[in-house]
Amino acid sequence: MAVSSSSLTLQPVLDRIAAEIENMPARGRPADYIPALAACDPRRFGMAVAELDGTVHGVGDWRQPFSAQSLTKVFTLALVLAGGGDALWERVGREPSGNPFNSLVQLEYENGIPRNPFINAGALVVTDRLHTQTGDAAGTLLDFLRAESGNEHLAINKDVAASEAAHGDRNAALGHFMASYGNIGNPVPALLDQYFRQCSIEASCADLALATGFLARHGVRADGTRLLTRSQAKQVNAVMLTCGTYDAAGEFAYRVGLPGKSGVGGGIIAVVPGRCTLCVWSPGLDERGNSVAGVAALERFTTLTGLSVF
């Protein structure tokens, strides 16, 4: 039975979810194609919920930093839209891909225009634009996350970045392929360095739930200033819902019913517009790259609370 959202107490809900997750028999496997992530314990679990006023509730390993990976794509997208408006959409689409996140095939069919900003090709285009706008895409992102989370100690894990670079041939191929169509403005090696550093930022569930809060506040940052228009915030949430969990976006929408973005570090962020933001972390992934326990926890959250966009 769902709890009335008007009288909702979040901590008991999180405690109940954590107890249920503890009994899950299968948690998936950590990402093994990035050696620095392969050693993570798949049974670790943390979850945090940040309310609009910055109050945070958490359970498990909710203060443990982990590799944000593709969760960062939400923030780079928002920063590019804030700095350059809708011009980005001339270079990247807004449709689900239906293919793995690092696929080259679809990109060739569509003349170097990525299907959406959350697959790797699309994220490279977004980071390219942010780097052009700021001169330091990864540094700009890190400053933003520090400000929104209130945690000045957030940092890039250099070992993870080096591991990404050493095993980043597919991303390099995507970058060079798009450059051949004129869809990358910066030198590809410089872009890849920014992208690998971006994905290697470490943050906790609490940090990322807080940092995502502007999407629940319809574009307003933690300090009360506006990052995005209400329309832009709606658009980012919409793309998260339809494209945020790789080629499992339909299943995620069916089970969870919230805009969400996953990463192969085991994290998932999700938004309840006008109410709160969530981040869950558990490193064990399914075959599509989404956290097994993370999806289950978010499904239980929306079921128990009734907080969903549907």
Active site residues: 70, 73, 195, 246, 264
164 is in an annotated binding site: yes
d(CA 158, CA 231): 36
User: Given CA atoms 66, 61, 302, 75 in this order, what sign does their dihedral have?
Assistant: negative
The answer to whether 246 is a known ligand-binding residue is: yes
306 is written with which tokens? 């009734």
195 is in an annotated binding site: yes
151 is in an annotated binding site: no
Pairwise CA distance, residues 252 & 10, whole Å: 22
The Cα 20–Cα 24 span in angstroms is: 7
Residue 70 assigned to a binding site:
yes
Distances (CA, A) of 49 to 3, 276, 279, 292: 16, 7, 7, 19
The answer for residues whose C-beta is within 8 angstroms of residue 14's C-beta and 6 or more apart is 47, 49, 57, 58, 59, 301
171 known ligand binder:
yes
Q: Round to whole Å and give the CA distance between 300 and 310.
A: 15
CA gap 194, 57 in Å, rounded = 32
Q: Which two tokens stand for residue 4?
A: 């009335």
Two structure tokens written together for 299: 């499904």
Give the annotated binding-site residues.
Answer: 70, 120, 164, 171, 195, 246, 264
Binding-site sequence positions for substrate: 70, 120, 164, 171, 195, 246, 264
